[in-house]
Amino acid sequence: MLMKTPPQISRRARRRRLGRLGGLAVTALLCLSAAHAEPKTTVYLNGTPTPVFFNDGDSFRILEGQLAQSGTRLSGFNTLESFGPVHAWGQWTEKELKVIGKQATLNARRGVWRCFSDMNKDTYGRTLWWCPDLAEDQIRKGLAHVMTITQWPGDSRLIEAQREAIAAKRGMWALGVPEFVLTSTHSKAEDPSMPVHYNRLVSVVDGHSHPWPHQNEYKECEKVCWKSTKEEREARLIDRFWLQPQVIAYRKLYDDANIQAILDAFRAGSKLEVVEGGLRDEQHRYDFEKTLKKMKRDGWFDAAASDLEVCQIYTDFRRRFGMNKAACL
């Protein structure tokens, strides 16, 4: 799972890619231009077959029954915004990633899905639904990524599907894999009374949310970007190491400089040894090696190596649709 800045592609290869995406964009736009007809998709809502309209790859509006016209938010995963060209990372442009967002919407409309809910709502008043088959299908095709709104990881089945999609460079992962995906930006102007505002970064390894606190007032259509330093990524890798159950009991026995040296030796392929100033005994060596190998398989080392900048064009959520939408959309 390579996450470093991808090599530059040739002009011819880029033209081919743009041509393919252009064709996909035309198809997507032709299909979505009929949105007023609200193409129906059958979704089994808590076991009841119900027609819905997917307005996005991770949300739908219920068309019939007791819940008719109610909005939803599907939990456990996230598709890229399709309301406008707003995402960018690696060699992707905003317009290209918008196409992938449109593809996710079309992919959701084509299936028959089963979703479950205890009828709890999110902060926007939308009912939360869990659609495991849809989530896995979107993620495995590289049309979505795992996401929770907490510090906790996503569903293990979805994480494994994403790991496969990244390895195969499918969809959004074809031209570079960042450490985080920037999924939302919020300007101080949205609510000046709040002392701190947050943008949301989501881990590409396990889907946990990483808050980006700030006090910035963004202008409409401003490009907001996140790029961390190598030192920051290494510090997060060490923090992640100490969250692993097999080594957590050793936390007070090693300082960060010592752990950094052990991580460097592991990366270099050197055998970890019990030496003065290093690992304390054979049991520690065994537990450290086992933990580090698992972290490498899971993708944490690749994430720490990723130097890709992730960006999102800022627009107030009230200016994303209709006649009053922002000019950049």
18-76 residue pLDDT tens: 555 555 554 555 444 444 567 899 999 999 999 999 999 999 999 999 889 888 889 99
Sign of CA dihedral 244, 248, 254, 257: positive
- Per the structure block, which two tokens stand in for 16? 């081919």
Question: Could you tell me the pTM of the whole model?
Answer: 0.86
For domain 26-177, the CATH architecture is Beta Barrel (2.40)
> Is the pLDDT assigned to residue 193 strictly greater than 80?
yes
* Backbone conformation region of residue 80, classed left if phi is above 0, alpha if psi is from -120 to 50, else beta: beta
- Determine the Cα–Cα distance for residues 311 and 165; give it in Å rounded to an integer: 21
C-beta contacts of 246-252 below 8 A and 24+ residues apart: 246/287, 246/290, 246/291, 247/287, 247/288, 247/291, 250/284, 250/287
pLDDT of residue 123: 77
> Is residue 12 pLDDT above 60, yes or no?
no
The mean per-residue pLDDT over the stretch 282-309 comes to 96
Tokens 């692993």 -> residue: 244
Domain spans, the chain: 26-177, 230-304
Confidence at residue 240, expressed as pLDDT on a 0 to 100 scale: 96
Task: Pick the range with the lowest mean pLDDT from 11-15, 135-139, 161-165, 217-221.
Answer: 11-15
Give the model's pLDDT for residue 43. Answer: 96
By the 8 A CB rule, do 314 and 226 touch? no
Instruction: Sort strands 41-45 and 113-115 into parallel, antiparallel or unpaired.
Output: parallel
